[in-house]
Homo-oligomer: A and B are copies of this chain.
């Protein structure tokens, strides 16, 4: 039997990200799980309008999306608990800049994606920043034969139900392949 839950968002799990932006010329990091892929090279980042990071993204038209590992869960969670208005969160990480020069990235994250802001979608309580990826950086130890090995990355997965952080499990099948056998039916 199906139970109605009201209009409850259950699109989970989503990967926890650290969104990097320069605000008033200083690097800042915000923890965001309301993200998605919009087109092959683009990412959407949905943020409450009140957040400190938004002004930096608008000012520079650049930001970064980084994938922290489970080993960085405390620091990552902390970046979602305090505002850059009050605390210098850049102290937690070693910051580096890439091609765009104004999108700070935390070196400790296995994966960093440098983005150019291409569109902003206005919502009632929030705004959605759509960024086109300009360059992707990965720490050497997470690469295997030219591909990023997510079993090594240990991304932090977020599920709003029960407000939990989860690990990635094992790889069990090939996409665009295991459904092939149903074609003959």
- Using a CB–CB cutoff of 8 Å, the interface residues on chain A facing chain B are 1-15, 17, 33-44, 46, 65, 67, 70, 73-82, 92, 96, 107, 111-113, 119, 121, 123-126, 128, 130, 132-140, 143, 147-150, 155, 157-159, 161-183
Identity of the chain B residue whose Cβ is nearest the Cβ of A150 in the assembled complex: B159
Contact B46 A36 (CB under 8 A): yes
Which residue from B135, B140, B150, B172 sits with its C-beta under 8 Å from A6?
A: B135
Which residue, of A14, A34, A178, A179, has the highest number of chain B Cβ atoms within 10 A? A179
Count of this chain's copies in the oligomeric assembly: 2
Contact B168 A137 (CB under 8 A): no
A157 CB to closest chain B CB (Å) equals 7
